[in-house]
Amino acid sequence: MNQRAFTPPAWSISDREFDQLSRTIHRYSGIVIGPEKRGMIRARLQKRLVALQLDTLAEYLDIVSGVSGRAERERFVSSLTTNVTSFFREKHHFAFLVEAILPALGDTTRPIRIWSAGCSSGQEPYSIAMSVLDAHPEMAQRLSILGSDIDADVLAKARRGIYAGSSLTGISDDFRSRFFEPVEDGRGTDLRIRAQLRDLVTYQQINLNAGWPISEKFDVIFCRNTAIYFAPQTQCLLWRKFHDVLRPGGWLLIGHSERVPAECHHLLQPAGITAYQKPG
Ligand SMILES: C[S@@+](CC[C@H](N)C(=O)[O-])C[C@H]1O[C@@H](n2cnc3c(N)ncnc32)[C@H](O)[C@@H]1O
C-alpha cells in the first residue's frame, strides 16, 4: 500500500517566531539572518516539517530550542548555509601563496600546516594542495591541510572529492590530467581528485563560533567568504582567534568583501589584497 505523502497544514512565520529562529541560528553559528531571508527560511522549514511529520512551526521551535535539539539545530543551520565555491576562486590568493608565502616557508624544514576554514565542498583546500604540489613538489612530504566547515553535508562531498567535469572551469588541462582521474561510473562525466592530493587534506567539522579542537599552530589560514555572514563583533572575535592559532609570521587570507579592521592591525598587519600577516 502506498503511504500518503505528509503535508503540513498551511502555515506562516509570525514576527515572534522569526525572531526566535534567527536568535537560535545566531547563537549556534554566528550567522546573521536578516528579515529579507524570511521566504527562504520558510521554504527550508517546510522541508524539515515534512521530514519530521510536524504540524506546526511551534512544535519545530520546541525541538530546535530544546536541550536535546542539537542534531536538528545542526541540520537546520546546514540547510541555511551558503556553500557556493569553486576551484581557484579569487585566484590572486593562490598566486600569493606560490610567489610570496611558500618561498618564505621553503627556508625552513618543519611541517607546513594550512587551514581552509569554511571550506565548503573541498574546492578551496584542493586548490591549495594543487598549488603547492605544482610549484614545490618537494614540500608535499611536510604539508598538511585542514579543511573545516560547520556543515556535515558539504564535508562529506569534500571527503569524496568527486566533481562534475563541467565545474572544473578554473582548471588548466595540465592540472586536470595531473590531479584528477575519471570516475569509473560508466558515464565518464565526473572526475575524482587523485589520492596523492586527497591524502594531503583532512576534514573536520568545526563551528568557527564555538570552541576549536586545534592544538597546533598554522602557517596559513584561508577563511574566505565565510565571515561575511557574521556580525561585525563576531568577525572581530574570529580575527583574534585566528591570530592566536597562527605562527608568528603566519598569514590570514580572507574573502574579497571582508576586511580585518584597523583596530586589529597590530595583531594582523595588511600584507596584500585581503591578505594579513601576524607580526613575526
Ligand atoms: C560561501 S562558502 C565559502 C567557501 C570557500 N571558502 C570559498 O571562498 O569558496 C561559506 C562556508 O562557510 C560555512 N560556514 C558558515 N558558518 C560557519 C560557521 N559558523 N563555522 C564554520 N563554517 C561556517 C558554510 O557552511 C559554507 O560552506
Whether ipTM > 0.90 holds is yes
Would you call 190 a catalytic residue per the annotation?
A: no
What's the CATH fold of domain 15-80?
Answer: Chemotaxis Receptor Methyltransferase Cher; domain 1 (1.10.155)
- Among protein residues, the one with the nearest Cα to ligand 1's atom 27 is 120
Q: Which atom of ligand 1 is nearest to the CA of 84?
A: 1
| CA–CA gap between residue 107 and residue 109 (Å, rounded) | 7
| CA–CA gap between residue 146 and residue 236 (Å, rounded) | 22
The two most distant CA atoms of the chain are separated, in Å, by 70
Q: Which of 38, 42, 44, 159 is catalytic?
A: 44
Indicate whether residue 84 lines ligand 1 (CB < 6 A): yes
Sequence-ordered alpha helix ranges (H) in 107-260: 123-135, 152-160, 173-179, 195-198, 232-245
Indicate whether residue 229 lines ligand 1 (CB < 6 A): yes
Q: Which atom of ligand 1 is nearest to the CA of 85?
A: 9
Q: What values do phi and psi take at 20, rounded to 5?
A: -65, -40
| CA–CA gap between residue 270 and residue 226 (Å, rounded) | 19
Indicate whether residue 93 lines ligand 1 (CB < 6 A): no
Select from 255, 216, 221 the least CA-distant residue to 240: 221
Query: Are the CB atoms for 126 and 94 separated by under 8 Å?
Result: no
User: pLDDT tens track of the chain, all 280 residues?
Assistant: 445 566 666 777 888 989 988 888 898 899 999 888 888 888 888 888 988 999 888 899 899 888 888 889 888 888 888 999 999 999 999 999 999 999 999 877 899 999 999 999 999 999 999 999 999 999 999 999 999 999 999 999 999 999 999 999 889 999 999 999 999 876 778 999 999 999 999 999 999 999 999 999 999 999 999 999 999 999 999 999 999 999 999 999 999 999 999 999 999 999 999 999 999 9
CA–centroid distance, residue 270 to ligand 1 (Å): 23
Strand ordering across the sheet containing 269-272 = 201-205, 143-149, 112-117, 218-223, 246-254, 275-277, 269-272
149 known member of a binding site: yes
2 known member of a binding site: no
DSSP state, residue 89: S
- Among protein residues, the one with the nearest Cα to ligand 1's atom 11 is 118
Residue with grid cell 594550512, as numbered in its chain: 114
Residue 9's pLDDT is: 64
| CA gyration radius, the chain | 21
Would you call 107 a catalytic residue per the annotation?
A: no
Query: Are the CB atoms for 142 and 109 separated by under 8 Å?
Result: yes
Query: Which bin fits 88, alpha (ψ -120 to 50), beta or left (φ > 0)?
Result: left
113 forms bridges with which residues in the sheet? 144
83 known member of a binding site: yes
Question: Is domain 92-277 in CATH 2.40.30.60, yes or no?
Answer: no
- Among protein residues, the one with the nearest Cα to ligand 1's atom 13 is 118
Question: Residue ranges per domain, the chain?
Answer: 15-80, 92-277
3-state secondary structure of 115: strand
